[in-house]
Amino acid sequence: MIIKLQIFAMLWGTYGYQLIPRIEECGLTCSKGFLCKTQISTGIFNSFCHPAPVSLSHAVLRSMKLWTAMKCTDGHRCSLHLRIKGTLHLHENVRGVEICSLSVSTQKSQCVNVKVSRNTHVKPTGKKVKLQFSCFEVSAGQHVYVTMRTIPNYCGVQLNQEYYVEDCSNSDVGKHIPSCFAGKLAYEVDRTKHTILLNISSVAQSVDYYVRLCHQRFVCEDVGLVSLVHRNDLVKSISLPFTQLLPCLCIEAWPAIPDARRLQMCPFKNNTKALWDDIIYNAVTQTLTWEAACPIHVNVSLCRLMKTSDQCVDLMNSSKTAAEKVKYSRVDAHPRLCMKFTTKRGSWVRCPFARGNAQERRVSILCIDEET
């Protein structure tokens, strides 16, 4: 029987079937016989600690526990809250505790002061006060750092704990938290009008959506404007204009709510041939430069196009490995002088000075008068 229960517990945790405890309202509770009042604090980094009195033990704070709770309105609009439980041993030099939650990713904190006093109408059972606070709203998958310390803030008298909120892979979170309702994307390319027609399906009800095109680098950088699509217009195709179908061009869509999960697709990754045309020749400085619109690992070399075949023979000592930009100096323009680009997908040749044949490609010629 014990083995069956252990296996069930493992499956429960592995496949994300955990149910998040529900709360009707967020709030504060404390032990019978004590009065607890909350007040928004100035923040986790805004106060300095004081030396603790000799009579004050570091164990005045004990056993902080964290877990996630879910609050739902109208049965479907739900939010996640961090539930914090701790124990304070009353001391004449301690008036209460400050509780703070810091988002590791955004470095934003939310703090509350809990002032504790004895209830004159109810006799307390001792000096131990159990506190439970559940009004810090968190997002799915959020990494938080929670601190509980005394009021006043005594140096070294505090509890710290990291916590990871359940993410959208948890079935309960994925089903009820709007930020997990990313939806599904489908697209068509209208090359004549230079637009991408985007359709979003399986989306959250009563939620607007942001959509955009972006170039994937270290982060995905905006290409054009971010568009807000009203919830009633999601049944229609959304038109996104583009200039080039580059391999780093991506489509993103996400609900217009804080910390929403983004749905991204980059369908043009194999379209690397669009990168080889951005060649610039400066006739004054005799420099030949190639700069890619997207980062790509490529070997670039100069080569000479043979008269009798389409073979382009590499010039000695011209090979360079680059991610975005290559520059050659003291280059004389010649119809058979070409640039060869080689990746793991193949090789491409561009002959920027060719005239009147199939090897001719777009090249920008810069003729700049320089002062001497």
User: Residue 97 and residue 108: Cα distance in Å, rounded?
Assistant: 20
Closest CA to 328 of 361, 292, 357, 291: 291
Q: What is the pLDDT of residue 367?
A: 38
**Are β-strands 61-73 and 22-23 bridged in parallel, bridged antiparallel, or unpaired?**
parallel
Of 213, 207, 208, give the one whose Cα is nearest residue 187: 213
Long-range Cβ pairs for the range 362-366 (8 Å, 24+): 362/277, 362/279, 363/279, 363/280, 363/281, 364/279, 364/280, 364/281, 365/281, 365/283, 366/280, 366/281, 366/282, 366/283, 366/284
Confidence at residue 211, expressed as pLDDT on a 0 to 100 scale: 93
Q: How many residues are given for the chain?
A: 372
- Per-residue CA distances from 71 to 59, 75, 126, 176, 227 (Å): 33, 9, 33, 10, 30
With a cut of 50, which residues of the chain have pLDDT below it?
Answer: 1-16, 45-46, 124-125, 356-372
Phi, psi of 14 (to 5 degrees): -70, -40
pTM above threshold 0.85: no
240: which strand partners? Answer: 196
Please calculate the CA angle 325-329-333 and round it to the nearest 5 degrees: 105
What one-character DSSP code corresponds to residue 46?
S
The closest alpha carbon to 362, from 277, 243, 288, belongs to: 277
Helix ranges restricted to H, the chain: 2-14, 171-176
Please report the pLDDT score of residue 76 as a whole number. Answer: 64
Q: Would you say 200 and 278 are in contact if contact means Cβ atoms under 8 Å apart?
A: no
Tell me if 173 sits within 8 A of 166, measured CB to CB: yes
Residue 170's Cβ-count burial label (10 Å; 0-12, 13-18, 19+) is buried
In the predicted model, what is the mean pLDDT of the chain?
A: 83
Cis peptide before 152 (omega within 30 of 0): yes
What is the dihedral sign for C-alpha 353, 357, 362, 364? Answer: positive
Which residue type occupies 215?
A: H
How far is residue 269 from each of residues 45, 209, 248, 275, 309, measured CA to CA in Å? 45, 25, 6, 11, 31
CA dist 69 and 299 (Å) reads 53
Measured distance between the N- and C-terminal CA atoms of the chain, rounded to whole angstroms: 91
How many other CB atoms are there within 10 angstroms of residue 74's CB atom?
6
pLDDT of residue 63: 86
Per DSSP, 166 falls in state -
In this structure, is the dihedral angle defined by the CA atoms of residues 77, 82, 85 and 86, taken in order, positive or negative?
negative
In 10 A of CB 282, how many CB atoms? 17
